[in-house]
Structure 1
């Protein structure tokens, strides 16, 4: 599909979805007079490692506003993203389903989905996308009376022009879509605003006048201002610090003579992200919404956008994975463990730390619990009891992931145990994370009973789908 056809189709779909959403949808399940359900904000970084923030151990990059979130809220020490790459991770966050049940389990589909082109060489690539039968947290919250907005990165559309955020519960969307290259990058020349494709003249002809990170922040602040009188759900999905490394300047790191330009730029990208988070918090305070708003912060997977020498060097220079094993695309801790902070003044104890294992499928049931909305099917649990009591310890539960790059892999966590299967039909690796968080010693041979329990759980949680069938037909360009 050529770009002009895509624009017409995609924006027509957005407009149709907007027109079909009646005002009455925003008055359902109204709270009793004199009470207010909390606003919910989820701030998501892109490819920021577990160790990239100061509150999680970073020593070279300052993150005062992310640190403020932790100082005024609860930090989870054992939190996990939905997957080791962005598409499936965000799918788990939005749908509450782990990658053994979710529609999107990798950035590439084995079957189904739609074919499109990738990169300058226009290589054919099959990508999965959400379908109408998939439901998101935004849809449930909108049905419960929340105004919903996504600012930034969606990444659940694949090459399907109908799978826009507007089709999946977001009343407002300002950001970029996967098939529309002109809306992508840190200096985009166009942006999708609701049902319109808007030119950004400040970035035309190679100019760098408006930085994507700043645009997301501005759009999020505007959303808060316009909806501060009613409960809202705001998903601020930043691109930073995903590659390519680019920033308006080196920020506070310009004078680091012993740093390379890449290192200065990466640190500046996180600086401008952190600055934007601070501006969002300041807006909440200025609007007297602090105590009425639950703010979540996390990253979508581990560091190092691509496994190149340049990006590996940067991740290692900053110890972005926090000393854990692995990077983005790895199923070891460095690829899936994420910072996760929740701030709710007066409700969540300031400076609290929880070591309860949590992961992205938990967000949907937590958000619905906070909103007083009906419970929906999910692979997660509501974290509200843990937010109310940092010392609370839940029962050990089975957390599950699967991934398909470069081949089918499975991971599970149960209590202190973590098991990995690195190829279909392969034997399991087993680690005791309480003693070996770096996963340096495989002790599967010492615990056959635990290995069996983990293998049984993996078999139970993996359900084949149209996009990821058993047996697999192959990857990429199959019909």
Structure 2
């Protein structure tokens, strides 16, 4: 008896559905949230050196939680800040443009606050993520906009849905301030402060509320209460930056609620305080990672830990005790690697291979393309940014690289530096016609030996790049050192 055509079609359809169900039964069930873009958290210490973490060779200061973060994630060995000082480094991070293209190129202070503020038409990574559907928050130190002439740069106008912290970095010197900002409102704190200067600087004589403790609480609250859609948290700590005003008055720029185990060390008070600030910072990171795990957010959250530039010497502490630059020369305000090479750890359980190390040469400007890539959108035009996603995902063969990285510095006379092919560092100061100093980082990571005479072709290549690397800025003109030249 022949089978009716309709029955044959129905039988075929039933077999097809059965096979599909068997295939899907063998596939892993997607974890909660895996179908949406990942949460992104950028944690940044302030003036923390490359060598001040155990996982980067520190022997004296304890950083167990960040060391564990490195064991569970990826540790980069040649990653660079956007600049060798605070504000321009943060501007590079936010805009994805290198130091010669970004809006803010130095610490302007009271003289020209508008020069240290992002403007209306600047596009930040927070804005890009906000437009891609992310909720965005800044906790801690901003430094790219303030009240008054610098108000174009306040966080609410630069892509952040929420803000809690300091607007300008002089105010942020004081770890025990008498107020902080929540969005555009001042929040009074119980600390009694001796004011110094006009920008909110000073030091507490009755220290009660430590700002970084408040920021840790705020960061935890944020991730616990913003799980309904992807979020970007920029957690910009103040530790271990010195309180410069306190150091001038009391010869100790460290501020921390508790010296912990360092109280038992036979060290000067500034050394005890500096170490305690870093270990306290480490505890904040451990607390956040624990909360991410407890809330089942870890496997859909990329966390970055880094520092805004090299280590400082403004707390009156002993650099030789801590060796904060590791094997590199220079500190904050130097264009040698000690001033700009920073710790950089990426943590994303289930996505980033644990206990992995990368020698990929990247810098802060790459966060723009990386975040946009992960959010499923595109970075704005005119960026100097390459996505780090291939490296993070264990596919270094697919990773693009920069031919050059660029930095400049304006304090005490203009200086320029460029890194070519991740190996050759060229530094110029004193004038555009002054000879370029050249260092081979592969053979001489401490940049002690000038090899310009042995490699004229590399000198010519870097010199040609430096001549065109930057765009003119009315706020940040080139003024060479005394006796040098002023020009474009």
**What TM-score, normalized by structure 2, do the two folds share?**
0.83
Are 1:414 and 2:420 matched, yes or no? yes
Alignment of 1:116-265 (within 5 A): 116=110, 127-157=115-145, 160-178=150-168, 181=171, 185-201=174-190, 206-244=205-243, 245-257=254-266, 259-265=267-273
Query: How far 1:391 moved relative to its partner?
Result: 4.9
**Per-residue Cα deviation, 1:278-334 (whole angstroms, up to 9, x for no partner):** 11111111111000100001101111154x8x24xx222100010311010010010
Specify the structure having the higher radius of gyration (Cα): 2
State the alpha-carbon separation in 1 of the partners of residues 282 and 441 from structure 2. 30
Contact kept in structure 2, 1:93 and 1:363, CA below 8 Å: yes
Residues 408 and 180 of structure 1: CA distance in aligned 2, closer, same or farther (over 3 Å): closer
Aligned equivalents of 1:396, 1:87: Cα separation in 2: 23
The equivalent residue for 1:19 is none
Offset of 1:172 from its aligned partner? Answer: 0.2
1:390 Cα deviation after fit: 6.4
- Pick aligned residue for 1:327 from 325, 331, 341: 331
Q: Counterpart of 2:350? A: 346
- 1:385 aligned to 385, 390, 395, which one? 390
Match for 1:272 among 262, 280, 289? 280
Q: Give unpaired runs (5+ residues) of structure 1.
A: 1-32, 109-114, 118-123, 475-479
**Closer, same or farther: CA 249–469 of 1 in aligned 2, 3 Å:** same
In structure 2, C-alpha distance between the alignment counterparts of 1:174 and 1:437, rounded to whole Å = 39
Structure 2 unpaired stretches of 5+: 1-32, 194-203, 244-253, 483-488
- Summarize the Cα distance change of 1:396–1:364 in structure 2 as closer, same or farther, 3 Å threshold: closer
Question: 1:354 touches 1:390 (CA, 8 Å); kept in 2?
Answer: no
- Which residue in the other structure is 2:362 paired with? 358
What is the count of residue pairs matched by the alignment?
424
Matched, 1:293 2:296: no
Question: Which residue number in structure 2 is paired with residue 10 of structure 1?
Answer: none
Contact 2:117 2:151 in 1 (8 A): no
Q: CA offsets, 1:191-225, max 9 Å, x none?
A: 11123211112557842221111111011111111
Aligned-residue offset at 1:175? 0.3
Mean Cα deviation higher: 156-165 or 265-274: 156-165
Which residue does 2:486 correspond to in 1?
none
d(CA) in 1 for partners of 2:126, 2:71: 28
1:452: Cα distance to partner? 0.6
* Higher relative contact order (CA closer than 8 Å, sequence separation 6+): 1
Once structures 1 and 2 are overlaid, which stretch shifts more, 271-280 or 197-206?
197-206
Q: Cα RMSD over matched residues? A: 2.2
CA distance in 2, matches of 1:469, 1:283: 46
- Aligned position for 1:457: 465
Matched, 1:107 2:107: yes
Quote the Cα distance in structure 2 between the aligned partners of 1:458 and 1:275: 42
Moved more, 141-150 or 157-166: 157-166
Q: Is the contact between residue 123 and residue 380 of structure 2 (CA under 8 Å) also seen in structure 1?
A: no
- Which residue of the other structure, out of 434, 440, 444, is the alignment partner of 1:432? 440
Say whether the 8 Å CA contact 1:148–1:233 is kept in structure 2.
Answer: yes
1:117-148 Cα offsets, whole Å, 9 max, x none, are 6xxxxxx8784211111111000000000000
- The Cα of 1:379 is off from its aligned counterpart by 0.5
1:470 and 1:343 map into 2 onto residues whose CA distance is 39
Q: Secondary structure at the match of 1:84?
A: coil
Q: Name the TM-score, length of structure 1 as normaliser.
A: 0.84
Relative to structure 1, is the Cα distance of residues 382 and 198 closer, same or farther in structure 2, using a 3 angstrom cutoff? same
Counterpart of 1:466 (choices 456, 459, 474) is: 474
Distance 1:243 1:184, change over 3 A: closer
- My pick for the range that moved more, 127-136 or 351-360, is 127-136
TM-superposition CA deviations, 1:345-381 (whole Å, max 9, x none): 1111111101111101011111111111123231120
Where do 1:47-126 residues align within 5 Å? 47-108=47-108, 116=110
Could you tell me how far 1:99 is from its partner in structure 2? 0.9
Distance 1:67 1:179, change over 3 A: closer
Residue 41 of structure 2 corresponds to 41
Cα distance in 2 for residues equivalent to 1:34 and 1:435 = 44
| 2-structure distance, mates of 1:187, 1:150 | 19
Take 1:150 and 1:396, find their aligned partners in 2: how far apart are those partners? 29
The 2-side partners of 1:344 and 1:328 are apart by 30
